[in-house]
Copies of this chain bind each other. A is one copy, B any other.
């Protein structure tokens, strides 16, 4: 055969903004998803898995990061021979697809429809440190219930979930707010936005929506830039840490006062916060409705034992996504960690959600009141690793080394016996010529035990069993005396292989 034409070699690189996950990173996430699914299931939610791909029009445009092409999603156009040449995209969350699924299957689904979903979502964001374009979400939603009991239940379930995966009470808080209260504040500000124009109704509508979105996005930065920063951003603008100037929203100082007063309404307890909020909304109807809803939620939660040690009203919670219409909430881990620059800071948000009454109506024209939560599983795993609650490294398999390549069947019989006894084991499948490479391999795999049978051992019908963990400890710490007294290698009859390996593994497990 003639050689094919030479083409340049492709680069072996994870695409920008993506990453690979190895070993324990994967299995620990799988285990966490399983644990969370268990809690969701116990609460009565049903599993749903929709496709990763949706039409762009079904997903809608709700992402806060509007400066990116395709509004922050990965999108492509179907070829014409499939019919429409529709624009398709990877889902950016699990909520927009749920609205599509419910609208499509609503005649077959129970109402309320309570479902959970877990899987990767994709965002076409500028990659940054620790910020990936593919990450896992783990959602639960109740579609078709207007009852604040649904919102309260989601908050309680979020709290249960965090404790079940290993965040103890006191290390987290679920903070609850209501978009309606913020809308009440915007209502007060509303008047001055009218722009005089020949076609002023349309202009003012566009302007209002734009202004509202800008205020929302700015309010969402309260945690990061603080009260003074938000005030600057709402009015004339602000220089950020890098010296770049961020343009202001254009409110007057008086208007920005109203927004900041709302954001800083948190009092010593929920009752005081509610009173402050009542002041902040200056009698707006929608604002009052929002405050009543918040009160109902915390009362329902208190009645079943979820007090302010776990769930509090906090007006500074905004949530970036554009589809929320009522209560919004966020779970924050309150313990401190050290950031990249060695500064102490709180770990921050690991989950969030809220009520979105209009998302299904996009498809059907009929309002379907809904509420849900999304847990950022990767951040939650990072938090548990940070606190040392899960180990980053796991033991590898028992490695049966190959002393004589013609006796591969013998070695395979050994691993088969070990596996049948439920012990993780493998035969060395690399080039067996250099025995040192085999032990290096076992070391790299973090193997607990190596099994050795050369010609001499075969003749005597024995095997050598090397305790690699003890061997490493002795090599690192032991005196010569200890080293002599505690051998880390044992010669046993071939028929005792499984029993001895099991014994050593039990000792290692402590």
Residues of A within 8 A of B (CB): 1-5, 9-16, 18-27, 29-30, 34, 37, 41-44, 46-55, 57-58, 60, 69, 74-76, 79, 82-83, 86, 88, 90, 100-101, 103-105, 110-112, 114, 120, 122, 126, 133-134, 142, 144-147, 149-150, 152-153, 156, 190, 201-202, 204-205, 208-209, 299-300, 303-305, 362-365, 396-397, 399, 408-409, 412-413, 416, 419, 422-427, 429-431, 441, 444-445
Q: Provide the bound-state CA to CA distance between A142 and B428, in Å.
A: 11
Q: Least Cβ distance of A230 to chain B in Å?
A: 23
B88 A74 Cβ-Cβ under 8 A:
yes
Question: Which of B15, B20, B305 has a CB less than 8 Å from the CB of A49?
Answer: B20
A426 B44 Cβ-Cβ under 8 A:
yes
B15 A413 Cβ-Cβ under 8 A:
no
- CB-CB under 8 A from A41, the residues of chain B are 424
B363 A20 Cβ-Cβ under 8 A:
no
Q: Provide the bound-state CA to CA distance between A415 and B47, in Å.
A: 20
Q: Least Cβ distance of A160 to chain B in Å?
A: 8
Which residue of B is nearest A16, CB measured? B82
A10 B60 Cβ-Cβ under 8 A:
yes
Which residue of B is nearest A365, CB measured? B9
Q: Provide the bound-state CA to CA distance between A150 and B13, in Å.
A: 27
- CB-CB under 8 A from A145, the residues of chain B are 429-430
Question: Which of B13, B53, B190, B412 has a CB less than 8 Å from the CB of A15?
Answer: B53
B190 A1 Cβ-Cβ under 8 A:
yes
B2 A51 Cβ-Cβ under 8 A:
no
A51 B419 Cβ-Cβ under 8 A:
no
B412 A304 Cβ-Cβ under 8 A:
yes
- CB-CB under 8 A from A429, the residues of chain B are 112, 114, 142, 145, 147, 149-150, 153
- CB-CB under 8 A from A53, the residues of chain B are 15, 18, 74, 122, 133-134
- CB-CB under 8 A from A46, the residues of chain B are 22-23, 396
- CB-CB under 8 A from A147, the residues of chain B are 408, 429
A15 B304 Cβ-Cβ under 8 A:
no
The contact sample of 9 A-B pairs, CB cut-off 8 A, is: A10-B58, A15-B51, A19-B51, A20-B104, A43-B425, A44-B424, A146-B431, A147-B429, A156-B416
- CB-CB under 8 A from A10, the residues of chain B are 55, 57-58, 60, 100, 362-363
Q: Provide the bound-state CA to CA distance between A416 and B365, in Å.
A: 35
Q: Least Cβ distance of A347 to chain B in Å?
A: 24
Q: Least Cβ distance of A380 to chain B in Å?
A: 17
Which residue of B is nearest A124, CB measured? B79
Q: Provide the bound-state CA to CA distance between A306 and B19, in Å.
A: 39
B134 A51 Cβ-Cβ under 8 A:
yes
B122 A363 Cβ-Cβ under 8 A:
no
Question: Which of B52, B83, B111 has a CB less than 8 Å from the CB of A52?
Answer: B52
Q: Provide the bound-state CA to CA distance between A100 and B53, in Å.
A: 24
Q: Provide the bound-state CA to CA distance between A363 and B11, in Å.
A: 6
A48 B74 Cβ-Cβ under 8 A:
no
Q: Which 7 A-B pairs have the closest CB atoms?
A: A44-B426, A2-B205, A303-B409, A12-B103, A26-B47, A76-B76, A18-B51
Known contacts A363-B12, A409-B300, A419-B43: A48-B22 contact under CB 8 Å: yes
A110 B12 Cβ-Cβ under 8 A:
no
Question: Which of B104, B152, B412, B419 has a CB less than 8 Å from the CB of A42?
Answer: B419
- CB-CB under 8 A from A299, the residues of chain B are 409
Which residue of B is nearest A394, CB measured? B46
Q: Provide the bound-state CA to CA distance between A365 and B32, in Å.
A: 39
B205 A1 Cβ-Cβ under 8 A:
yes
Known contacts A42-B419, A204-B2, A429-B150: A12-B104 contact under CB 8 Å: yes
Q: Provide the bound-state CA to CA distance between A426 and B82, in Å.
A: 44
A49 B69 Cβ-Cβ under 8 A:
no
